[in-house]
Amino acid sequence: MSEPIIYDISVSGRQAVSLPACDVPKAKLPDELLRSDLDLPEVSELQVVRHFVNLSRKNFAIDRNFYPLGSCTMKYNPKINEDTARLPGFAHLHPLTDEAESQGVLSLMYTLQTWLAEVSGFSAVSLVPAAGAQGELAGILMIRAYHRERGDDKRVKILVPNSAHGTNPATVTMVGFQAVELPSDEDGNVDLDALKAACDDTVAGMMITVPSTLGLFDRNILEVIRLVHECGGLMYMDGANMNALMGIVKPAALGFDVMHYNLHKTFSTPHGGGGPGCGAVGVNVKLTPYLPGPIAAIVDSDLEKPAPLYGLIMPEKSIGRLKAFHGNVGMFIRAYTYIRSYGGNGLREVSRHAVLNANYIRARLHDEYTVPYDRYCAHEFVMEGRFEGVDGVHALDISKRLMDYGIHPPTNYFPLIVPEALLIEPTETEDKATLDEFIDVMKKIAEEAKTQPDLLTNAPHTTEIRRVDEVRAAKQLVLCCRPVPEWDVKDEKKEDTKA
């Protein structure tokens, strides 16, 4: 059933909330500055509850469905994390509370920085970036600042493999650098000859995802890092796939200079239907002075007190602030809770089982589907969503058909270098029965593609809405359900623009 827009169930004069009476004498309001009306819904509390419960039921979610969305690490989001993040001592703590009065949260931040540094082998971590993309921005700004500090202003190129996330080249442009795309070889590794040709004294660095977006450990990674370092560039690791690496290998030990973590992928903080996340960045000693701040630090060991006094500092040559305050602290608390749940050895088990699950699906589907790089994969693998002799069926159709079986589609059409790509990441929290069911469904869909392709090309059949008209959405823009307010000034402005 379609759920009305909240404005459509609004009744003039209704109110859900009651507030206390004003307990002070009322001040005079400046009438000339006040607005005449505000068009917000007028509904009861029960109406709000039913409306949003009904909306929630229209979503696939980890709590309902298997969600093998490659490069997104849709693992189970532990419930205790939601409780710890909501403890009053965190939830009601003002960001500008004096350091002496916020030792609990500062201690948590300091410890989390230390643990994240230990997982990656880096010497320092800033938790400030709000998402992976902001972590990338921080990383490339640090690389820029590092070269400029040394007077090396000609370095303006960042090498980016053609399998990279779109955020990588977009970040490079944001910083005012040029993205130089590198091809991959037939095994999915960076093409070393192309890399050698691109390495010169204009290279500021390279951004690379490990394991790659194809779900592969690049066999030449040490050579790649050596070549870039040799020409004076720095190495940025996109940590989106860190779920394959915990206790397996430390990026800093491989030679990386900087990376971002996605706490909303590897460390189980929920995706929230599109955020909030946290894209903390880790760096080696070279880049430590440039970290975005503020970061938690031990600022004083007061002899009067048994515990060290934690504080917030701006690193010496910091690229600056990325957010108004200290980052998405609610995500720090969830990630801290998660790491505390597993311990160091447990984190290694996470990565081992994430990789086991992905290889199990790969091994059991590679007869029915083309797996272009059919070797041991990391925590995810890519296969082609197309079949020989069946022209009309695409990766998108397989994705949509999965919905009819109650499974969220894998990432499709990414990475761009695999035709009709389906990127499958099961994560470690799924049990064998769930994987077996997915495998059976995928085999059935492969069969349907050959015998009844319409079942795929018209899919989904069982969802409340069918495929949507995206062209209409973009051409006849409807972004708001109410008439937009009309002001005289707007018309004047439009005439100005014409003039």
Residues 401 and 459: beta-carbon distance below 8 Å? yes
Choose between 156 and 390: whose C-beta lies nearer to other proteins.
Answer: 156
Q: Angle, nearest 10°, between helix axes 329-365 and 432-451?
A: 60
- Distance between CA atoms of residues 246 and 259, nearest Å: 14
Any idea what the Cα angle at residue 127 is, between residues 84 and 61, rounded to 5°?
Answer: 55
Contacts to other proteins from residues 39-58, by CB under 8 A? 39-43, 45, 48-49, 51-53, 55-58
Alpha carbon 128 to chain centroid, angstroms: 14
Q: Are the C-beta atoms of residues 160 and 172 closer than 8 Å to each other?
A: yes
> Cβ closer to other proteins: 190 or 331?
331
Min CB(282)–other proteins separation in Å = 14
Q: Does the protein bind other proteins through residue 326 (CB under 8 A)? A: yes
Is residue 246 a contact residue for other proteins (CB under 8 A)?
yes
Q: From the CB of 444, what's the least distance to other proteins, in Å?
A: 18
Residue 46 main-chain phi, psi, to 5 deg: -65, -40
Q: Which is nearer to other proteins, 141 or 446 (CB)?
A: 141
Interacting positions 197-236 with other proteins (CB under 8 A): 216-219, 221-222
CA distance 439 to 434: 9
Which residue in 149, 196, 320, 447 binds other proteins (CB under 8 A)? 320
State yes or no: residue 99 binds other proteins (CB under 8 A). no
Q: For residues 339-358, which are near other proteins according to CB under 8 A?
A: 339-350, 352-353, 355-357
- Interface residue with other proteins, options 123, 192, 232, 254 (CB under 8 A): 254
- Under the binding rule (CB under 8 A), the answer on residue 485 touching other proteins is yes
Complex with other proteins: residue 73 or 288, whichever CB lies closer:
73
Contact segment (CB under 8 A) with other proteins among 193-201, 387-395, 442-450, 486-494 equals 486-494
Q: How many residues bind other proteins (CB under 8 A)?
A: 210
C-beta of 33 vs 303, nearer to other proteins? 33
CB of 450 to other proteins, least distance (A): 24
Residues 358-417 that bind other proteins (CB under 8 A): 359-360, 362-364, 375-376, 399-400, 403, 408-409, 414
SS3 category, 63: coil
Kindly tell me which of 274 and 389 has the beta carbon lying closer to other proteins: 274
Distances (CA, A) of 427 to 53, 188, 345, 379, 402: 28, 22, 17, 7, 18
Determine, following the binding rule CB under 8 A, whether residue 186 of this chain makes contact with other proteins: no
CB of 319 to other proteins, least distance (A): 6
CB of 22 to other proteins, least distance (A): 5
**x-or-dash pattern for other proteins, window 147-166, by CB under 8 A?**
------------------xx
Among 176, 183, 392, 419, binds other proteins (CB under 8 A): 176
- Give the tokens for residue 233: 């560039």
Q: Give Dmax (Cα) for the chain.
A: 80
Question: b vs e for 301-321, b when ≥16 Cβ sit within 10 Å of the residue's Cβ?
Answer: eeeeeeeebbbbeebeebbee
Alpha carbon distance 345, 75 (integer Å): 18
CB of 389 to other proteins, least distance (A): 27
Element (H, E) at 297: strand 295-300
Distance, CA of 254 to CA of 221 (rounded, Å): 8
Q: Which of 66, 72, 261, 424 binds other proteins (CB under 8 A)?
A: 72
Please tell me whether residue 498 binds other proteins under the rule CB under 8 A.
Answer: no
Q: Does 484 bind other proteins (CB under 8 A)?
A: yes
CA separation for the pair 225, 218 (Å, rounded) = 11
Q: Which amino acid does the sequence have at 8?
A: D
What letters, b where the CB count within 10 A reaches 16 and e where it falls short, cover 206-234?
bbbbbbbbbbbbbebbeebbebbbebbbb
Let me know: does 281 contact 126? Beta carbons within 8 Å: yes
Query: Segment 10-29, which members bind other proteins (CB under 8 A)?
Result: 14-20, 22-27, 29
**CB 47 → other proteins: shortest distance, Å?**
9
> Tokens 């309001």 label which residue?
29
- Count how many residues are written for the chain: 499
Which residue number, 16 or 285, has a Cβ lying nearer to other proteins?
16
Residues 256-315 interacting with other proteins (rule: CB under 8 A) = 264, 268, 270-277, 279, 292
Contact window for other proteins (CB under 8 A) among 93-101, 194-202, 281-289, 443-451: 93-101
For residues 1 and 389, which CB has a smaller minimum distance to other proteins in the complex? Answer: 1
How far apart CA 373 and CA 379 sit, in angstroms, is 14
| Window of 193-201, 386-394, 428-436, 446-454 that interacts with other proteins by CB under 8 A | 428-436
Q: Which is nearer to other proteins, 249 or 390 (CB)?
A: 249
Q: Considering the complex, state which of residue 194 and residue 435 has its C-beta at the smaller distance from other proteins.
A: 435
Of 161, 163, 144, 160, whose CA–CA distance to 152 is shortest?
144
Among 196, 226, 305, 472, binds other proteins (CB under 8 A): 472
Instruction: Report the residue from 167, 241, 243, 284 that binds other proteins according to the rule CB under 8 A.
Output: 167
Half-sphere exposure of residue 107, counting CA atoms within 13 Å on the CB side? Answer: 9
